[in-house]
Amino acid sequence: AQSVTQPDIHITVSEGASLELRCNYSYGATPYLFWYVQSPGQGLQLLLKYFSGDTLVQGIKGFEAEFKRSQSSFNLRKPSVHWSDAAEYFCAVGTGSGNTGKLIFGQGTTLQVKP
Amino acid sequence: EAGVAQSPRYKIIEKRQSVAFWCNPISGHATLYWYQQILGQGPKLLIQFQNNGVVDDSQLPKDRFSAERLKGVDSTLKIQPAKLEDSAVYLCASSLRGSMNTEAFFGQGTRLTVV
């Protein structure tokens, strides 16, 4: 069965430091992979997605993620974290075919940013 | 472009009562999703509509949950009777199509507390 694991429940980094959030997936075929961010009281916003091609994908707000098939990973990175990046981050894998696509989410990683 | 609208934002009910949530997707989006997000977990798909037809409701507890999407636009999700474990945020999302290469846009959610 398809699944997504985010090993880190909470991460605290200092403002200006680099960030890496881990994501491992289980999926039989070539996966569609996503990272979403959820600020308090807000819905989910798409940061970036990977479908095929270049394994390093760029997203909004300075985020990037690298797809590594051999490790079944899709880690999210940012070179320099801003206080406004404090939020909950969800990795997801897309399943289904045709118009039956749906997302399976990991449990999320809460990012705290220290001043 | 207006986003996905959900109401109410918050709801507190007693167990065994009924409750309904409303969602208005982005205009022109054929696919509508209802996700349940329990505290500390990632969102889990409850039901997916393609226009006014159900595509996937495999994880919907049909003994107490029901959903409809009249005329392929607005949707309502109902719980009757509610249980304590139904306390969660209910997220509505929509996409132009249901395929994995089209972005899903999420509403702000309805936070349900069952006491």
Write the pLDDT tens digit of every residue in A73-112: 999 999 999 999 999 999 999 887 766 678 999 999 999 9
Contacts of B110 in chain A (CB under 8 A): none
Residues B4, A43: C-beta atoms closer than 8 Å: yes
Q: What is the pLDDT of residue B1?
A: 63
Residues B101, A51: C-beta atoms closer than 8 Å: yes
- Six-digit token pair at A22? 């881990």
Which of B113, B109, B115, B105 lies closest to B1 in space, CA to CA? Answer: B105
Q: From the CA of A88, how many Å to the nearest CA of chain B? A: 10
Q: What is the pLDDT of residue B47?
A: 96
Q: Which of residues 18-57 of A touch B (CB under 8 A)?
A: 32, 36, 41-46, 49, 51
Say whether residue A101 is in contact with chain B using an 8 A CB cutoff: yes
Q: What is the pLDDT of residue A95?
A: 82
| CA-CA-CA-CA torsion sign (A58, A62, A63, A64) | positive
Instruction: Give me the residue from A43, A100, A107 closest to B98, CB to CB.
Output: A100
Q: What is the pLDDT of residue B62?
A: 95
- Which residues of chain B register pLDDT less than 70? 1
Report the chain B residue with the minimal C-alpha distance to residue A40.
B108
- Six-digit token pair at A18? 């680099």
- Report pLDDT digits (tens) over A13-57: 999 999 999 999 998 777 899 999 999 878 899 999 998 888 999
Q: What is the pLDDT of residue A99?
A: 64
Q: Which of A103, A109, A110 to mutate to test the interface with B (most CBs of B within 10 A)?
A: A103
Query: How would you classify residue A99: left for phi > 0, otherwise alpha for psi between -120 and 50, otherwise beta?
Result: alpha
Report the chain B residue with the minimal C-alpha distance to residue A99.
B98
Report the chain A residue with the minimal C-alpha distance to residue B51.
A99
Q: What is the pLDDT of residue A40?
A: 85
